[in-house]
Amino acid sequence: MDNLYLALVHFPVVNRKNEPIGSALTTIDLHDIARACMTFGVNGFYVVTPYQDQAKLADQVIRHWLHGEGGRQNPSRKQALERVRVTDTIETATNQIQKERNQPVVTIATSAKKHNNTISTRQLRQRLCSNTSHVLIFGTAWGLAQELMDNCDMQLDPITGTGDYNHLSVRSAASIYLDRLTNGRDSAER
């Protein structure tokens, strides 16, 4: 899956009232999603925040693991954090990928809510075989703002459980999607 990237967006996202907001960085998201990306062979992981204090925090965490005592004590965590890049917008991230790969970039939004015209992980898995880079975009807080979702090329089916409750942590959702994309299991196969 060397043509797959992940992005964790902190703006624009929504709050529980579906109002557009920006959210704060959670360092555990940074660690855990980077580790999932490493485990499943994802090429890169973008942390997207326009807030300078949040970008600085992310850079400090990354620097600790890449150049500080953290990386010396835990080389496998260092290896995972090497895949993390911090950008101010999703457009900056996709432009970097396009320049790096010299190929088109397809953006795929994720959401816990069901929307029209979504694709399954099986359909996305088939698309990953193309000469195109793909960015799977996750939102923090209560999910991606509609304006960002509308600008994505496609949207992935939500992860559903056995009941009505559907509020996974973004770390869990990223891992589940990556497992389904890598190992070929879809929710319909339960």
In percent, how much of the chain has pLDDT > 90? 87
Q: For the residues 76-102, what does the mean pLDDT come to?
A: 97
Report CA 187 to chain centroid distance, whole Å: 19
Supply the pTM of this predicted model.
0.95
Interatomic CA distance for residues 12 and 14, integer angstroms: 7
Q: For the residues 61-85, what does the mean pLDDT come to?
A: 94
The amino acid at 60:
Q
Split into its structural domains, the chain has a count of 1
172: CB partners within 8 A, 6+ apart: none
At 167, is the pLDDT very low, low, confident or very high (cuts 50, 70, 90)? confident
Q: The domain containing residue 146 runs over which residues? A: 4-189
**CA dihedral sign of residues 64, 65, 67, 70:** positive
Distances (CA, A) of 33 to 39, 129, 132: 10, 23, 22
Q: What are phi and psi of 173, to 5 degrees?
A: -60, -45
Say whether pLDDT at 190 is over 70.
no
The amino acid at 157:
D
CATH at residue 83: 3.40.1280.10
How many residues appear in the chain? 190
Q: Average per-residue pLDDT in the chain?
A: 94
Query: Would you state the pLDDT for residue 187?
Result: 56
Span 113-165, pLDDT tens digits: 988 889 999 999 999 988 999 999 999 999 999 999 999 999 999 999 998 88
